[in-house]
Chains A and B, each alone.
Chain A
Amino acid sequence: MKVAVITFPGSNCDYDLFKAAQQVGGDAKFIWHRERGLNNYDAVLLPGGFSYGDYLRAGAIARMSPIMEDVIAFAKTGRPVLGICNGFQILCESGLLPGALMHNTSLKFESKDVMLRVDRTDTMFTKDYKTGQVLRIPIAHGEGNYGADDETLEALEDQGRVVFRYVDRDGELSDEANPNGSLNNIAGITNETGNVLGMMPHPERAMEKLLGSTDGLALFTSMAGSLQPS
């Protein structure tokens, strides 16, 4: 699995993603945002961070980067594109995913572990999880409050495109378990074809027992597994 980790000025989770990709046997390369060409890759990862200092809006400037044209073309080929945190914000700004990520309702930057429920296991990112499985994964963001108009939200729900939701320890939805005010406790969604996933929580920070959780590992093994020729 050849994996491109796109690095923008201000990305800060690029090494974590690089390491995560390597951990599941991926041949990872950093691609600077001004470079072009993703055709030889099997998967593209957009890391978290504060690209362009979050100027204008989080992700708004990064999506104008030359490489984003290639990321959009790559996504259209059906190969997996994963955006985490700022990567999710960039995917929304670029139109690869619908909706927007607004300021957390708490008015605070939230940096802590949250519980996530896996609602879809039929995606190339989640097939190694069990439906309804509850994961402990860290979040670290100020703008993770997912919002969309009613029509978009309905389409996401009807088409089963909400992959992860914030839940309590028992896997139940609640306002208390929602760290940022996201509609329907949405933590991660896919595009219509299911090959683009955006999520605010950081599975790449939950890869080592020593660091508190290995619940993110199955996301990367799922992706690697779905790229193996069967």
Chain B
Amino acid sequence: MNPYRIEVRVKPRPGLLDPQGKAIHHSLNSLGWEGVNDVSVGKAIYIDIDADSADNALATVEVMCRKLLANPVTEDFEVSVIDEMERTSS
């Protein structure tokens, strides 16, 4: 088994109201930034997990996303391996 660090990006589904994004958008405008067309806020979740391959680590985390980490009614998610940690000696 190898340790993997997986990044989960959970994003509001397009077209749904994103109040945090809206508030930040207003603030950026009032600070004088022109041409900001849209701001949306998601969240990043980092999971350190042992798996026998990167694909299996990703597959496991995708199941976690469907079961807990994202709400399919309101959110989309993406998963990626960001850092293959050094193999721990056994």
Contact = CB atoms under 8 A, between A and B. Distances in A.
Nearest to A92: B73
Contacts, number: 31
Contacts of B19: 103-105, 107
Interface in B46-76: 68-69, 71, 73-74
A64 interface: yes
Interface in B69-90: 69, 71, 73-74
A31 interface: no
Nearest to B73: A100
B16 A93 contact: no
Interface in A174-212: 181
| Contact-size category for A | 10 to 19
Contacts of A60: 68, 71
A149 B68 contact: no
B18 to A, nearest CB: 8
B73 A148 contact: yes
Contacts of B22: 107
Interface string A52-76: 0000110010001000000000000
Interface in A80-105: 92-93, 99-100, 102-105
A123 interface: no
A105 B71 contact: no
Contact of B16 (A57, A102, A104, A107): A102
Interface of A: 56-57, 60, 64, 92-93, 99-100, 102-105, 107, 145, 147-149, 181
Given A57-B71, A107-B23, A149-B73, 6 more contacts: A60-B71, A64-B68, A92-B73, A100-B74, A104-B19, A107-B19
